[in-house]
Structure formats: C-alpha cells, structure tokens
C-alpha cells in the first residue's frame, strides 16, 4: 500500500473522529440544560411525595409553587437565615447539599463520635420546606441524607404540625442494590412511614427502623418501621441517617424553636 493511501485513510479517520467529537460535545451541551431541568423536577416531585401532595399527571412545578414555602435555616441556632447573607454560592434557589457540604465556609466537619449518618461534613445551613394552609404550618419537609451499603442516600422526611408524627418519606438519589437496599424505593415500604410517631410526649426521638418486621400487637409498633429484607446495612443506614437529622446534630434546634413558637413570627 502506498504512503499516499495510508495518509488518505488516516486523514479520513481523523476527520470522522473530529466530526463525531463535535457532534457529541454539541449534544452534551444542549442536553445538559434538559438534564438539569429534569433533575430539578424529579427533586420537586420527591418533595411533594414526602409531603403526601403528589398525584399522577399533576404539574409538579405549579403545585410546588402553590403549596410549598422553602426556607433556609441555620442548623446550629435553628433560626431562619436572613436574605442579606445570600449570594451566588448560597441561595435557596441554587442550594445543593453536595456542593455546600464541601464548601469550607458553609459547612462543618462532624466528629467521628457524632457522625452516625457517615457523612463526615454537613452544611451549616439547610433549606427546609413548609406546607402551609391559610398561612398556618401543616407539615414540614426536611432534606435528609446518609450512608447506606454502597452509596449515600438523599431524600426527604415530612413531619406534621404536631412536630411528632411522620407524614412521609422518600429518597430521590441512591445507589443501593436493586431488590435489596434498593427497596427504599418500594411504594409500600415508603407508605408504612406515614402516621408513625417520631417523637414521644417529651419530644425525645423514638422512631426506629428495625432489622426485621414490626409486630403490630406489641407495644412500640407505632414508632417502628419494617427493616429492608436481606439488607441489614442499608436498613441500619436509613435508621442512622433519620436519627441523625431529627436530633440535635441536625434539625433539633429548629424543631425546638418551632415547638416553642420561637420562629413562627419570622416564617
């Protein structure tokens, strides 16, 4: 084969590679905005599901805007964050747990002793979601996250305005094993959370995810959740992350202020 033929072959191959790379890059750029939009819509859908507001076929963005009021809170003080500290990195609209938890200024390291959720760092601030009726709080939807077996699970848990009762739970991102830890997506299992008592009369956390099944005939069933069959580590992870976020290290200060009426005038 002549050098001329080899050169032409290489030239054609190079041209094809260049054209393909341009097409792939262009498609990636154009699709990225669509993917981000779909990701946002899916997150909104999960917020509505946790708050028992979602129905098939609904306009989730419209329902969110009509029913949900997002508020940024300081986890340490439990106070609502003043808007004058918002900027391009810290805002309700762009708040992203992964990004903020890696930001040195807006996150804190968790001691190994207290890190039962296995997340190492947590944001100083979190965006929570109020469901209000006629200006009164009906439910509060809290973002939660923590380690399972193979992944970090990201989701929401909703608490009613008695500040004791679970209204719903959902996970919008995880990498657990389908059919095992992945059963956190099972609608029946998620529905079993509704109506469970998260706190006792003194507002001490009593909600527990068991290793096995709940026995409805035994005392304590009202604050127990069935474990995920065949997935002990994911079950333990869900139990730990819920306990972490609903106690002092997470939303404890904020819940205490709500119960005392201390933040209602600001909300």
- Residue 152 is predicted with a pLDDT of 97
Beta strands 208-209 and 224-225: pairing type?
parallel
How high does pLDDT run on average in the chain? Answer: 90
pLDDT at 73 over 60: yes
- Residue 30 is predicted with a pLDDT of 59
Percent of the chain residues past pLDDT 70, beyond the cut: 91
- Residue 221 is predicted with a pLDDT of 96
pLDDT at 204 over 90: yes
Of 54, 56, 86, 55, which Cα lies nearest the Cα of 71?
86
Structure tokens at 12: 């054609």
- 2-28 per-position pLDDT tens digit: 555 777 777 777 778 787 777 766 665
Q: Residue 123 contacts by C-beta under 8 Å, 6 or more apart in sequence? A: 75, 97, 100, 101, 103, 106, 107
- 97-122 per-position pLDDT tens digit: 999 999 999 999 999 999 999 999 99
- Residue 14 is predicted with a pLDDT of 77
Distance of alpha carbon 23 from alpha carbon 255, whole angstroms: 51
Instruction: Give, in order, the Cα–Cα distances in Å from 115 to each of 4, 41, 120, 244.
Output: 66, 31, 6, 8
pLDDT at 1 over 60: no
């Amino acid at each position: 084969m002549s050098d001329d033929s080899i050169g032409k072959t290489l030239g054609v191959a190079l041209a094809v590679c260049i054209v393909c790379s341009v097409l792939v890059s262009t498609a990636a750029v154009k699709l990225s905005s669509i993917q981000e939009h779909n990701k946002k819509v899916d997150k909104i859908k999960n917020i509505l599901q946790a708050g028992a507001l979602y129905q098939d076929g609904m306009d989730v963005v419209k329902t969110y805007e009509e029913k949900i009021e997002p508020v940024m809170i300081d986890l340490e003080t439990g106070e609502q964050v003043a808007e004058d500290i918002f900027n391009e990195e810290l805002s309700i609209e762009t708040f992203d747990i992964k990004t903020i938890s890696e930001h040195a200024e807006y996150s804190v390291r968790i001691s190994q002793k207290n890190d039962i959720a296995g997340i190492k760092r947590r944001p100083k601030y979190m965006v929570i979601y109020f469901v209000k009726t006629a200006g009164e709080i009906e439910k509060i939807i809290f973002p939660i996250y923590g380690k399972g077996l193979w992944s970090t699970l990201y989701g929401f848990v909703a608490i009613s305005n008695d500040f004791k009762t679970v209204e719903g739970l959902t996970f919008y991102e995880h990498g657990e094993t389908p059919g095992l830890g992945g059963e956190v997506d099972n609608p029946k299992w998620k529905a079993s959370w509704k109506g469970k008592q998260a706190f006792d009369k003194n507002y001490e956390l009593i909600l527990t995810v068991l290793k096995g099944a709940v026995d409805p005939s035994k005392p304590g069933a009202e604050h127990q959740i069935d474990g995920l069959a065949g997935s002990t580590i994911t079950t333990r992870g869900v139990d730990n992350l819920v306990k972490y976020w609903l106690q002092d290290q997470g939303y404890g200060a904020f819940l205490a202020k709500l119960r005392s009426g201390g933040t209602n005038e600001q909300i």
